[in-house]
Structure 1
Amino acid sequence: MKRSNGCSALLLLICFAVLGCIQAVTLEVREKNSTCIKLELSAFFSITYNTSSSARTVQVPLPNTTTVDAASSSCGTDGSLPWLVATFGSGHALGLSFTSNGSLYSVDNLTLQYNLSDSSIFAEANSSDVVTVVSATVGIWAVINTTYHCVSAISVVAGGQMVTFSDMRLEAYMPGNELSSAETVCSADQASTTAPTTTARTPTTPTPEPTTPQRGTYSVSNNGTICFLAQMGLQLNFSYFSQSQNKTIQEIFNLTPNLTTSSGSCEDSRATLNLTQERSTTLSFIFTTNSTTNKYHLSGIILFANWSDMTVPFLAGNTSLDYMGTTLGRSYMCNAEQTFVVENFSLNTFRLQVQAFGVTSNHFSTAEECQMDQDQMLIPIIVGASLAGLVLIVLIAYLIGRKRSHAGYQTI
């Protein structure tokens, strides 16, 4: 795989393991018997592609058979940027490029290349192209001579596709062959005071009537300015195989705002909000714009859960949705309970207001209400009008009857 103008790295997705089996992968770049880049992580990807009849979304983990492409990877000793390029499968690759200002290093670009002719992943794809997408907004950085460490799941959108990392330890510009013991902990982990994924809560059997979730306020910032704002109560409904009960159970799970951290990205035509609770549950929302209609909508929802009671992590989602449509420059509001069905799970929202584009002064713009709220407002109006009509009919009938009663008397 070739580098393009020295500024792209290659990230790819796809794997041949069973869906949901998230695997740990270790990758390193070496030159002259020295390691300069080392990466340990688990990752899964969500890619949407077209068939002859519809769009499909696949979600698969990065396989443990992934290897570093020594010919494309580099420590940057020749004046170029350091590169880690990993390959797997039939023409797929994952790569990261790095930059440093002397005190910090960061992921400069993340690039995803995937081969649509690989029918084992892209069944019935209507194209055999090799597609490459790039994201220059990654948000991974650390102090020089420290290891970037992030247990929480973090998601990056590249050209409409999504990659999610978890249990990540990374170091570039390494002074030795092993990861530094000193760490730069990601902001998502700093905000969480709970135990890591491996000791996450063991869910109990839900009650028949679950409580309404608390309403939380979540945001995404770009250069210190809020660019994505949301307030909502969130409830997940999905099934998984429980180790403790040795059977498949139905879980109804409320996100708790004070245990949930938000992250994401804002781009011209795409905005992403990632909500992570207790480092073990990540719910991602993707909003996209339509320049033709001057509107935006919720186009993707992805859920990743890795609880100690699960035999395998739960992973499902869809990036071809069309929910919450509203006009650019306005927010979307729905106080009524909404249910969004997303492949193997469903999401309920309560007292929701969201604005993914055009947030100004850290406040929501004028809201466009959902149809359910509008219908609920119409009900009292219709009832009131009906009662007023009934009163009017009774009054008219009374007046007519009274007039006829007077007409029956003769003047003496």
Structure 2
Amino acid sequence: MKIVNAFVTLVVVLLAVSGAIQAVTLEVTDGNSTCIKAELSAVFSITYNASNSTRTALVTLPDSASVDPGSSSCGSAGSSPWLVAVFGSGHALGLSFTSNGSVYSVTNLTLQYNLSDATVFPEANSSDVVTVVSASVGIWAPVNSTYRCLSSATFRLDTANLTFSNMRLQAYMSGNDLSPNESVCLADQTTTPAPPRPTPSTTPVPVPTPAGPPERGFYNVTQNNTVCLLAHMGLQLNVTYTDTQNKTVQDVMNINPDHTSSSGSCEANSASLVLTQEQSTILTFNFTLNSTSKRYHLSGVSLVANWPDLPANFSAGNSSLNYLRSSFGHSYMCNAEQTLVVLPTFSINTFKLQVQPFGVTTTQFASAEECQIDQDQMLIPIIVGAALSGLVLIVLIAYLIGRKRSHAGYQTI
């Protein structure tokens, strides 16, 4: 995967240098007002099956791409804002947005491509129209500011890679043009000239004081005025980063429910829970339901953090996880502390967790399937008790046998 991403990035750079990639301007309007505006370049690397092999098609978002007025919208009380750009013969790129009032973010990237387009997919085995989605991509900015990322950023969407560059983007706009206030992505920040490196110090970086157990919070997702996802848990985030002195630092932060809002979405086979703590943290959980086995699991987690101790925005995510497994119509529960490793630089400690992303029919959790750790902890006292009972029984039997033998040793006079 890293080789593919590196190759696509190299192609993007070469195309950009040659002038083959041009920024496209896309706007979603409501009447005379603009609510979403994007200036960006995009390249799609799509893997498909051909007659005798697997091929990869490289497609650039053309300057002829236009906003689809039927699929795009500024959003309403029951729906999210969408920017959908159509191009070529049945291809489309979609971005959906959400906001908690202080921060807006891209919640989903959607790519639709038409395999019957022989100019793009020669000798394709299928003529299907394929739709692939990537959630929680780490594109976010404070409300009334523009998200800017001139560097190339690649996102994985199942059978395709999508690489953005030269991106300026704003949703929930208050005016008709991009705000001059910019929120710069981490990649652009790291490309600026670094300050002179200080003389290496032998003084060790102090280890942060443990944050202590986090407070347990109630979170839910409401869609169409109905609660569709429930969560009750304490969360502790562990991140590793390199500070301005080029030293590795480990930071621990608890999610505070009193300062955290929840949002997300619920679909037939996927659900997401987005936790936003003030303007500093966006933590997203993605769940997937197997429609055949009727079992679900936590398939992806992403974090975007802007904490005071961080030298730059921290962004990390993994969409190939397999945690919190349970059955449809049941909740997953684990009272014991768990550590969910997302990446080597990012993990989550959960405390007294209970979650139900599918089959929610009321505002209460359904019957729970407990984690293996809880089951083992319940078995330990049972096993110890049984062992002690067995030991007592053995001692009693030995005592009775010994007493019987001692009586048999006396003779009647």
Structure 1 residues 316 and 375 mapped into 2: Cα distance closer, same or farther (>3 Å)?
A: same
Change in Cα spacing, 1:262 to 1:15, as seen in structure 2 (3 Å) is farther
1:81 maps to which residue? 69
Normalising by structure 2, report the TM-score.
0.62
CA distance in 1, matches of 2:79, 2:386: 64
Contact 1:242–1:311 (8 Å) recurs in 2: yes
Alpha-carbon offset, residue 28 of structure 1: 6.2
**Pair 1:166-2:141 in alignment:** yes
Q: Does structure 1 conserve the Cα–Cα contact (< 8 Å) formed by 2:339 and 2:347?
A: yes
Q: Which residue of 2 aligns with 1:406?
A: 407
Report the counterpart of residue 65 of structure 2 in structure 1.
72
Judged with a 3 Å threshold, the aligned counterparts in structure 2 of structure 1 residues 205 and 306 are, in CA distance, closer, same or farther, namely farther
Counterpart check, 1:98 vs 2:95: no
* CA distance in 2: counterparts of 1:248 and 1:400, whole angstroms: 68
Q: Any residues of structure 2 matched to 1:167-206 within 5 Å, and which?
A: 167-169=142-144, 177-178=176-177
- 1:331 paired to 2:304: no
Q: Secondary structure at the match of 1:385?
A: helix
Of residues 229-238 and 386-395 in structure 1, the stretch that sits farther from structure 2 once superposed is: 229-238
Distance 1:259 1:246 in 2: 32
Count of matched residue positions in the alignment of Structure 1 and Structure 2 = 307
Per the alignment, do residues 48 and 250 of structure 1 end up closer, same or farther by CA in structure 2, a change over 3 Å counting? farther
Q: Which amino acid in 2 is paired with 1:72?
A: A
Tell me the CA shift for residue 377 of structure 1.
0.5
State the distance in 2 between where 1:347 and 1:312 align.
20
> Post-superposition shift, 1:38?
6.1
Equivalent pair of 1:171/1:179 in contact (CA under 8 Å):
no
Alignment of 1:3-402 (within 5 A): 29=27, 37=34, 39=36, 71-73=64-66, 81=69, 97-98=72-73, 109-111=82-84, 138=97, 150-153=102-105, 155-156=107-108, 158=110, 159-162=132-135, 163=137, 164-169=139-144, 177-178=176-177, 207-243=208-244, 247-343=247-343, 344-402=345-403
Counterpart of 1:259 in structure 2: which amino acid?
H
1: CA distance, partners of 2:287 / 2:251: 26
CA deviations 1:67-111 (Å, max 9, x no partner) are 99764336xxxxx828xxxxxxxxxxxxx822689xx99765445
> 2: distance between equivalents of 1:252 and 1:48?
37
**1:386/1:332 CA distance change after superposition, 3 Å:** same
**C-alpha distance in 2, partners of 1:395/1:40?**
83
CA contact (8 A) 2:216 2:234 kept: yes
Amino acid in the other structure paired with 2:294: N
CA apart distance, 1:319: 0.5
Higher relative contact order (CA 8 A, sep 6+): 1
Unaligned runs of 5+ in 2: 1-7, 14-22, 50-59, 111-131, 145-169, 180-204
> Superposition RMSD on alpha carbons, in Å?
4.4
The alpha-carbon distance between structure 1 residues 131 and 165, as it changes in their structure 2 partners (threshold 3 A), is: farther
Normalising by structure 1, what TM-score? 0.62
Change in 2 beyond 3 A, CA 1:368/1:388: same
Once the 2 structures are TM-superposed, how far is the Cα of residue 280 of structure 1 from its aligned partner?
1.2
Change (3 A) 1:106 1:332: closer
Q: C-alpha distance in 1, partners of 2:78/2:333? A: 40
Q: Distance in 2 between matches of 1:209 and 1:321?
A: 26
Q: Distance in 2 between matches of 1:348 and 1:264?
A: 21
Question: Contact between 2:261 and 2:277, CA under 8 Å: does it hold in 1?
Answer: yes
Shift of the alpha carbon at 1:336? 0.8
Give distance in 1, aligned partners of 2:229 and 2:322.
18
TM-aligned CA deviation for residue 410 of structure 1? 1.3
- 2:17 is aligned to none
Distance 1:318 1:210, change over 3 A: same
- Secondary structure of the residue aligned to 2:285 is strand
Contact 1:238 1:346 (8 Å CA) reproduced: yes
Of stretches 367-376 and 298-307 in structure 1, the one that deviates more from structure 2 is 298-307
Equivalent pair of 1:276/1:283 in contact (CA under 8 Å):
yes
Task: Check whether the contact 1:26–1:40 (CA below 8 A) recurs between aligned residues.
Answer: no
* TM-superposed deviation, 1:306: 1.9
Q: Is the 8 A contact 1:240 1:250 kept in 2?
A: yes
